[in-house]
Amino acid sequence: MSSALHEQPYLESWRWMSRQIRCAMNPDEPRLIEHYLAEGRYLAGCTATSPWMIAETAFRLLLDTASDVALPWHWRNLCLDQAWRPLRDLEQQSLCRCRLKRWQSHAWALATCALEPSISLIELVQGSPDE
User: What's the pLDDT band for 112 if we cut at 50, 70, 90?
Assistant: very high
Domain range annotation of the chain:
3-126
Count CB atoms within 10 A of the CB of residue 83. Answer: 24
8 A C-beta contact, residue 25 and residue 19: yes
Top-confidence residue, 35 or 126: 35
Query: Would you state the pLDDT for residue 103?
Result: 96
Top-confidence residue, 117 or 6: 117
Residue 53's nearest CA partner among 18, 93, 20, 10 is 93
3-state helix vs strand vs coil in the chain, percent to 5: 70, 0, 30
8 A C-beta contact, residue 58 and residue 22: no
User: What's the pLDDT band for 129 if we cut at 50, 70, 90?
Assistant: low
Instruction: State the distance between the two ends of the chain, measured CA to CA, in whole angstroms.
Output: 56
Handedness of CA 92, 93, 95, 101 (dihedral sign): negative
User: What's the pLDDT band for 124 if we cut at 50, 70, 90?
Assistant: low
- DSSP letter, residue 83: T
Query: Would you state the pLDDT for residue 77?
Result: 96
Residue 9's nearest CA partner among 37, 35, 47, 62 is 47
Give the up-direction half-sphere exposure of residue 116: CA atoms within 13 A in the CB hemisphere: 10
Tens digit of each residue's pLDDT (9 = 90 or more) over 53-100: 999 999 999 999 999 999 999 999 999 999 999 999 999 999 999 999
Give SS3 for 43.
Answer: helix
